[in-house]
Amino acid sequence: MADSPFVIAGRTFKSRLIVGTGKYPSHVVMAQAHAAAGAEMVTVAVRRVNISDRSKESLLDYIDDKIFILPNTAGCYTADDAIRTARLGREAGLSNWVKLEVIGDERTLFPDNEALIEATRVLVNEGFIVLPYTNDDPIACRKLEDVGASAVMPLGAPIGSGLGIQNANNIRIIREFSKVPVIVDAGVGTASDAALAM
Amino acid sequence: MTIILNGERFELDSPLSVTALLAKLDIDPRRVAIEHNLNIIKRQTYPDVLIGEGDTVEIVNFVGGG
């Protein structure tokens, strides 16, 4: 099977695996994991600085210079919050790309698609490259693409569940419908789950 | 004087610039983004933006996440 390039918003990535920066035992282990994975893009969260605990270690010091950093809007429950966080991420960071999350439910962390579509529309109009985290609903993915998302990121399973892809058929349909890249996000538990997704 | 800094009340002696506040908090200005009364402040204006009584300031950076 011939490999086709992975292109998002005109930028080509050699690796189709996007890795996070959370839940590692240390920044050093995280850097080793990134190197071992051959990751070209990693996600980071935009968060308030801890004013009272000013530990000198910065996450950015441990991310290789060649790796593209994608800020996410984790922890945002409204379109307004996600939009503000995306703008802050752009200001703090190195690009106008954002992995957009608008969470609809605190327990399951499922996305609020209505707010997500609105936030995507606003941010695309401000020149952001938006990669929205959504669910495996082909119609939601189509609407996100219609408002200018540069990729769609349907969840495989709830965030943190490690259950692996729960609805492969929907993901297949999304892939068939989409003209932008489809990135399976969330719930990917094992290396074999990730391989299957890719 | 009191401001709201990252959601908490914070005491300052007098109004000061964003640059001065970051220095006081020992925060590297290159690694953060600042919101002052819901406006995102461009880095080049940090020395000019004055924080006063009752202002709301958010200082964010990047942390580990997915």
**What residues does each domain of chain A span?**
6-46+59-197
Output the pLDDT for position A2: 56
Distance CA B63, CA A168 (A): 31
Q: Which distant-in-sequence residues (6+ apart) come within 8 Å of A157 by Cβ? A: A163, A164, A165, A166, A186, A187, A188, A189
Higher per-residue confidence, A174 vs A58 = A174
Buried b (16+ CB within 10 A) or exposed e, B11-29: ebeeebebeebbeeeebee
Note whether residue B63 is domain-resident.
no
Note whether residue B15 is domain-resident.
yes
Distance CA A30, CA A137 (A): 32
Chain A residues near residue B34 by CB distance under 8 angstroms: 91
- What letter does residue A159 receive in the DSSP assignment? T
Residue A189's pLDDT band (cuts 50, 70, 90): low
Positive or negative, the CA dihedral A141, A152, A10, A60 is: positive
Residues in chain A: 198
pTM more than 0.80: yes
Output the pLDDT for position A14: 86
Compute the average pLDDT of residues A97-104.
96
Nearest CA among A134, A65, A64, A127 for reference residue A99: A134
Domain count for chain B, please give it: 1
Note whether residue B61 is domain-resident.
no
Q: Is the predicted pLDDT of residue B63 greater than 70, yes or no? A: yes
Higher per-residue confidence, A67 vs A186 = A67
Model confidence pLDDT, tens digit, residues B8-49: 999 999 999 999 999 999 998 888 999 999 999 999 999 999
Q: A181 near A151, Cβ under 8 Å?
A: yes
Chain B residues near residue A49 by CB distance under 8 angstroms: 6, 25, 27, 32, 59-61
The nearest alpha carbon in chain B to A41 belongs to: B66
Range of the domain at B50: 2-55
* Mean per-residue pLDDT over chain A, rounded: 88
> What is the ipTM for the molecules in this complex?
0.87
Least CB-CB distance to A93: which of B35, B38, B62? B62
Residue A129's pLDDT band (cuts 50, 70, 90): very high
Note whether residue B11 is domain-resident.
yes
Distance CA A97, CA A115 (A): 19
Alpha-helical runs (H) found in A20-137: 27-37, 79-92, 113-125
Any idea what the CATH number is for the domain that residue B19 is in?
3.10.20.30
The CATH number fitting domain A6-46+59-197, selected from 3.20.20.70, 3.30.70.370, 3.40.640.10, 3.40.50.2300: 3.20.20.70
Q: Is the predicted pLDDT of residue A162 greater than 70, yes or no? A: yes
Give the residue numbers of A marked as catalytic: 99
Residues of A (144-163) whose Cβ lies below 8 Å from B? 159
Note whether residue B6 is domain-resident.
yes
Beta-strand ranges (E) seen in chain A are 6-8, 11-13, 18-19, 41-48, 68-72, 97-100, 129-134, 153-154
Nearest CA among A33, A30, A134, A31 for reference residue A82: A134
